[in-house]
Homo-oligomer: A and B are copies of this chain.
Amino acid sequence: MAIAEISVVPIGTGDPSVSEYVAECIRALDKADIKHTLTPMGTVIEGSLDEILEAVRMLHRVPLNHGAARVLTKLVIDERRDKDASAEQKVASVRKRLAGS
């Protein structure tokens, strides 16, 4: 299992707002039953490498399918083999250190 953050931005739409496209991406993730959390700068998804890449394929096409002529998709994948680490555990691990300091 890996953790990823993805952001998909339409270019050249004539409107500085992108929330409509982000909402459409969240609907697609809901429909595909992929675990996700919306953050102010992207969407965190969790799953196997294959599931993450399948989500990227799907979300990258959202703006193109909704009229945008160009899209920039940004992805970061974090995977470790030495222990299980969910998105929640990653944040909890930092908070635990902060509480102990």
Asked if A20 contacts B70 (CB within 8 A), the reply is: no
Decide yes or no: A79 and B60 within 8 Å by CB, A11-B16, A40-B87, A70-B16 being known contacts.
Answer: yes
Main secondary structure of the interface of A (DSSP, over half): mixed
Decide yes or no: A19 and B75 within 8 Å by CB, A64-B81, A69-B81 being known contacts.
Answer: no
B contact residues around A22 at 8 Å (CB): 94
B contact residues around A77 at 8 Å (CB): 56, 60, 71-73, 75
Asked if B39 contacts A44 (CB within 8 A), the reply is: yes
Interface size range of chain A in the complex: 35 or more
Our pick among B3, B19, B79, B90 for the contact of A19 (Cβ within 8 Å) is B90
Asked if B40 contacts A69 (CB within 8 A), the reply is: no
Chain A residues at the B interface, C-beta cutoff of 8 Å: 3-5, 7, 9, 11-20, 22-23, 26-27, 37-42, 44, 49-50, 53, 56-57, 60-61, 64, 69-82, 87-88, 90-91, 93-95, 97-98, 101
